[in-house]
Structure 1
């Protein structure tokens, strides 16, 4: 039985939004980074996989190994590859910086050419709906995805891109309905660690940084009313603009490790 996104939608935005008190830019820059991942367990996070109930860590995919939050596929069969999953913060955030240190490891779960796009592919979902408000068979939460990609050893492949599960953005004054927009980042091959950071505002303005370099910026993160889930979200009385939400990390068939996940409140 599907979770009713209309009935559950109000749950996502009824949670307390965590922001800083009013600060100057200098004060904000001095605020402490707060660890969202404690290096020991998954406390403070909730998991949701497609076709699985909220809270089920299917095949023990998300786990802590040697102090790293790891997306691991050693318990999976290749034909299960379409059961994408996400791990969500329990708290909702509005104005903040989020930074993660990540790397791709090992081999992709499947060599199915239909999932070639998921090779060395993960993401940080910004202003995301809650896992409780997702439908049972929903693959991706409504959110703004900061897409993390690893290189194949030969070809250029930007990371820190934007993708749009159920959302649109405004860039350079124009409404953008294209699913993914590339950043101008370098390509990172192999299993090297990479820093991704996003500056996220309640106005919907977002900046992406890779290893400290600005690689993409856009405005007015908002619901796509032409998307079936987006349309349901709006029909439930939620606003067009996304001003707050959860943060989530993905499981999209390629093993990934995170050794730092931190947030810094802004105003």
Structure 2
């Protein structure tokens, strides 16, 4: 009996040792898993921070590029027009005025002034779209589509199936969507070789959506996938917490869908 008791006691000790070993192994495995999970979370956080930093840098670069463009427009268009006007005045003042010379001088001055006014209005419109401010996003995009269609090269169609939902966008959201669509329109006109553009506003009850589609070369062929344009679009949409999806970018057409959840729509109808 004493021998059996010793064997039982030995088995109990072995069992307890095994249990303790399993507990130690479990703790070690759990600690290793937690460490790996923590490192993965830190890596994901670092990647997100890096991505946000890249978007911020793209936004700053786009703002600087916009300032340079405005400076070039003022110098090349307005500056040259005013210089020509000054030259016209100098030439006229050096001559003995006649009736015909006065008529020609007046005509040239009026043409130059009209050109300056047109250029200044165009620059002002780019800086702060008047139609968007006064009439809203729907009318502003309709105006852009009509302007492109009048060129005769591309037919641009726009339809609003979202009803009054579009008016729930805040001013910042409407401006961001307007800039993004203008960027897409510019890319299509300059690079895509498309003949048709379709823009659709819709509302599925949970999201306000914008669908942009053209029948051009697609995103990859016109080499915009890594360009400043697409990065600028992503930074603008990220700023208003919108989500977007590209589809069939390499299939002979380009399509993008932008969605804003109703919970983020802060404007008033």
Q: TM-score range by the shorter chain?
A: under 0.3
TM-score by length of 2: 0.25
TM-score by length of 1: 0.25
Structure with the bigger percentage of helix: 2
Structure showing greater radius of gyration is 2
